[in-house]
Amino acid sequence: MGSSRLAAAITVLFASAAACASGDRTFERQVPAEAHGVVDISNVSGTVVVTGWDRPEVSVRAALDEGVERVDVSTDHGRTTVKVVLPHHGHGGDADLHVQVPKDSELAVSAVSADVATAGVTGVQRLNTVSGDITAELGGSDLELKSVSGNVKLKGHGQPARLHVSTVSGDVHLEHGAGDLEAGTVSGTLVVSLDSARSVRARSTSGDVHFEGKLARGADFDATSVSGDLNVRASAESGYAYEISTFSGDISNCFNATASERGHMPGRTLQGTRGDGAGHMHLKTMSGDVQLCDRK
């Protein structure tokens, strides 16, 4: 259901991009590629849609508006490079790329304002944008994602992987992830759902953090913010020891534990253990409110 929705979204994105670009130049090229090779794609503006397939080749289709000079496609020693080239002078233009890659490829996409979408890629993904939004399907391999102001939507299938996501102001939505997550934002909102987490490190300055999911035995969970709220609903079969600290925020929970004041000093803390206490949970804020529940 989720996959079909993602595929539909990608189809709509590509179709609308193609429609917008109607009347502009088109570009098509196929080059042979290794099944576990590297595919490096860069585009400034427009869209980048990448899908994995079973063929040992990279296919590039593009719609280019008049501000784009050309698309370079080259392959060398297992690395295929797709690069949208803009003229040295002028404002440049949009290029809408649809790239099909061997599904086990290691994928690297670099964009400025172009939106990026990936689906069906099971190799490592490195996705970077400045202001473009990123939509990616997690394929069980590691993901490294960085955006300045673009919003991020990630959808996994519960396969464990190392996920490293950072934005400055973009919001992050992650569904059905698993494994190890390190996520950071300054003012974006982090909304994370993990089917099984071994370790979670979430950090925010002013953005709120929402987590829902299940912790593996002995998992470590660490979330901090300065003024953002932390809302955590984490269950764990073997439980966890928790420690919550806030300087001026409120602490609430679903198991009726009472936070303690720090005597005459400002601040509240709440410590305790749920279940066997095999995992560890640390939640810290300066002025944000903290909510913890051990039920999903």
Tokens encoding 192: 């994370």
Contact 150, 169 (CB under 8 A): no
Nearest to 116 by CA among 86, 84, 153: 153
129 near another protein, rule: CB under 8 A: yes
> Which residues between 6 and 35 bind another protein (CB under 8 A)?
none
Of residues 121, 284, 292, 294, which one binds another protein by CB under 8 A? 284
Please report how close the Cβ of residue 75 comes to another protein at its closest, in angstroms: 20
238 near another protein, rule: CB under 8 A: no
Of residues 141, 159, 187, 238, which one binds another protein by CB under 8 A? 187
Stretch that binds another protein, among 172-180, 191-199, 233-241, 246-254 (CB under 8 A): 246-254
217: left (phi over 0), alpha (psi -120 to 50) or beta: beta
User: Residue 5: which residues within 8 A CB-CB, separation 6 or more?
Assistant: none
130 near another protein, rule: CB under 8 A: yes
Of residues 11, 131, 159, 252, which one binds another protein by CB under 8 A? 131
Taking the least distance from each CB to another protein, the nearer of 7 and 186 is: 186
Please report how close the Cβ of residue 230 comes to another protein at its closest, in angstroms: 12
Please report how close the Cβ of residue 217 comes to another protein at its closest, in angstroms: 27
How far apart are the C-alpha atoms of 99 and 92, rounded to whole Å? 21
User: Residue 112: which residues within 8 A CB-CB, separation 6 or more?
Assistant: 43, 44, 45, 129, 130, 131, 132
Tokens encoding 280: 């560890």
Write the binding mask 248 to 277 for another protein: x where contact by CB under 8 A, - elsewhere. x----------------xxx----------
- Which contacts of 10-15 are long-range, i.e. CB under 8 A and separated by 24 or more positions? 10/49, 10/51, 10/117, 10/119, 10/135, 13/47, 13/49, 13/115, 13/117, 13/135, 14/47, 14/49, 14/96, 14/98
Stretch that binds another protein, among 89-97, 99-107, 214-222, 272-280 (CB under 8 A): 89-97
113 near another protein, rule: CB under 8 A: yes
Strand partners, 285: 225, 246
Contact 191, 204 (CB under 8 A): no
Contact 134, 119 (CB under 8 A): no
Taking the least distance from each CB to another protein, the nearer of 169 and 235 is: 169
Tokens encoding 281: 């949970």
Please report how close the Cβ of residue 150 comes to another protein at its closest, in angstroms: 8
Strand partners, 246: 268, 285
59 near another protein, rule: CB under 8 A: no
How far apart are the C-alpha atoms of 26 and 10, rounded to whole Å? 19
146 near another protein, rule: CB under 8 A: yes
Stretch that binds another protein, among 49-57, 97-105, 234-242, 244-252 (CB under 8 A): 244-252
Stretch that binds another protein, among 11-19, 28-36, 152-160, 168-176 (CB under 8 A): 168-176
- The residue ranges that bind another protein (CB under 8 A) are 42, 44, 66-67, 69, 86-87, 89-91, 110-113, 128-131, 146, 148-149, 166, 168-170, 184, 186-187, 203, 205-206, 224, 226-227, 245-248, 265-267, 284-287
